């Protein structure tokens, strides 16, 4: 029976979390039907089925981390049958063996019928196979209270379904993701009042208990679990957060960072943004100071190409890239991600605006794919949206510089011999001082600031 093993959907993926199963045991699927959503160290990815047939087992429950190459689901014709010991046994009719399912490499899309997410056919409506009266109950069925010794049954395949959980003398019904959440929060399922069908503990029951104030009966030093009177909540380090932590530590302690600041009068940029918003060409896209700063960055890279480079420690070479894959740091519900706009240097202002819109919308929806997160050459992070003036950003691994945009605020500014209210912002640039010296970094930052202060200077590039 074919087993679908967790593939490497990114560059060097080693593990992923099973977020949600899109099928259940008994469903019939076709090649390219989406069967599961996983969270890698970078993003949420939908996995299509490489086989056609009946889902016979879900081998990994939701919420569990698995390594690449681990079987996660079996698909094929069911071979086990549970025979009713009372009913007379009728010999099975001879059947013609089904042709073995042909596996499809989910890492490399085949020509004409690629299977990676976004390329294959749309998800079909899944049809559940009818089951005979003597068969095992569906995976989602709740177990009845035992009243008499049961006849031996075929062992059930591990599935992400509701199962009884022992807690002392009490039998609690809860699905695996709910049990895992309760374990992470240190909550005893038996202490909860179930609100789900048939007395099942739902996720909301656990979450409500996790946010409720702890009872004043717990004593300090009692060795209790997480969340019981300790005034703290623990969250597992995994997925995007785990990747971000590893990347930032690697970058901070590998590349010697230098950060420079410049404060500029951005009034002309604010005025330009207002004019662009009124033009019909930009009616369908978002226009903001980030767009002007991104364009200024691309123009400044023409005069300082060393900023768009990477340090190759193994080859002992500095690799100057001729393409600009401009990364934009995005705050998402699952953590910080840095998708990048491929070949941003080839886009005009309108094309860049559309690319920024698409990038941010995809990131906020949690649907950024690994390919969009790899191959970046320089990054912009915009802390100004939070009202922050500036910062000392850490370089994204594999790159050599990151530009931080601060908030634009009205401040007194000297213009000629007068002090006038102007729209002022601070830019901060961190760069790898192994191969980018202060003069190169300063020249690049000054060029970006010059375009923001006077967008007309872009005609000089």
Q: Which residues are catalytic?
A: 433
Count of residues for the chain?
461
The secondary structure of 315-338 as a DSSP string is: TTEEEE-SS--EEE-EEETTEEE-
How many C-beta atoms lie closer than 10 Å to residue 424's C-beta? Answer: 19
Kind of pairing between the strands at 3-5 and 71-75: antiparallel
Measured CA to CA in angstroms, residue 78 lies from 27, 44, 413 at distances of: 11, 30, 76
- Helical ranges in 260-380 per DSSP H: 267-277, 289-303, 349-364, 370-373
Q: How far apart are CA 225 and CA 9, in angstroms?
A: 36
Give the DSSP H/E element, type plus range, for residue 261.
strand 257-265
Place of tokens 């953590």: 335
d(CA 385, CA 367): 22
Cα–Cα distance measured from residue 30 to residue 34, given in angstroms and rounded to the nearest whole number? 9
């Amino acid at each position: 029976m074919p087993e679908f093993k967790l593939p490497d959907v990114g560059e060097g993926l080693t593990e992923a979390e099973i977020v949600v199963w899109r099928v259940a045991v008994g469903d019939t699927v076709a090649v390219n039907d989406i069967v599961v959503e996983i969270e890698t160290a970078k993003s949420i990815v939908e996995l299509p089925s490489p086989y056609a047939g009946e889902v016979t087992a879900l081998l990994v429950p939701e919420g569990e981390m698995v390594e690449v190459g681990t079987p996660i689901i079996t698909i094929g014709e069911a071979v086990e049958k549970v025979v009713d010991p009372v009913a007379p046994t009728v010999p099975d009719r001879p059947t013609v063996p089904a042709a073995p399912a042909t596996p499809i490499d989910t890492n490399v899309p085949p020509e004409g019928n690629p299977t990676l997410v976004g390329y294959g056919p749309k998800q079909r409506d899944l049809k559940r196979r009818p089951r005979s009266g003597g068969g095992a109950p569906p995976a989602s069925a709740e177990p009845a209270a035992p009243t008499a010794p049961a006849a031996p049954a075929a062992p059930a395949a591990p599935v992400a379904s509701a199962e009884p959980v022992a807690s002392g003398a009490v039998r609690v019904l809860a699905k695996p993701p709910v049990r895992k959440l309760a374990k992470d929060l240190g909550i005893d399922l038996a202490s909860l009042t179930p609100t789900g069908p048939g007395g099942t503990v739902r996720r909301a029951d656990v979450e409500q208990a996790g946010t409720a104030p702890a009872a004043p009966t717990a004593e300090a030093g009692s060795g209790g679990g997480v969340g019981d009177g300790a005034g703290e909540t623990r969250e597992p380090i995994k997925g995007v957060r785990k990747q971000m932590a590893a990347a930032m530590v690697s970058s901070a302690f590998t590349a010697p960072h230098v950060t420079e600041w410049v404060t500029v009068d951005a009034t002309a940029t604010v005025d330009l943004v207002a004019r662009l918003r009124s033009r019909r060409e930009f009616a369908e896209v978002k226009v903001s100071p980030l767009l002007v700063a991104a364009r200024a960055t691309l123009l400044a890279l023409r005069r300082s190409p060393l900023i768009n480079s990477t340090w190759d420690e193994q080859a002992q070479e500095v690799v100057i890239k001729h393409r600009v894959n401009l990364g934009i740091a995005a705050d998402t519900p699952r953590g910080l991600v840095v998708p990048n706009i491929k070949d941003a240097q080839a886009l005009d202002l309108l094309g860049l605006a559309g690319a920024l819109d698409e990038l941010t919308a995809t990131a906020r929806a949690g649907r950024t794919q690994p390919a969009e997160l790899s191959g970046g050459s320089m990054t912009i992070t915009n802390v100004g949206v939070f009202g922050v003036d500036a910062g000392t950003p850490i370089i994204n691994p594999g790159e050599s510089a990151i530009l931080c945009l601060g908030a634009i605020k009205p401040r007194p500014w000297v213009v000629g011999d007068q002090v006038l209210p102007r729209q002022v912002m601070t830019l901060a640039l961190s760069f790898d001082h192994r191969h980018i010296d202060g003069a190169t970094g300063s020249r690049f930052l000054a060029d970006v600031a010059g375009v923001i202060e006077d967008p007309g200077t872009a005609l000089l590039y």
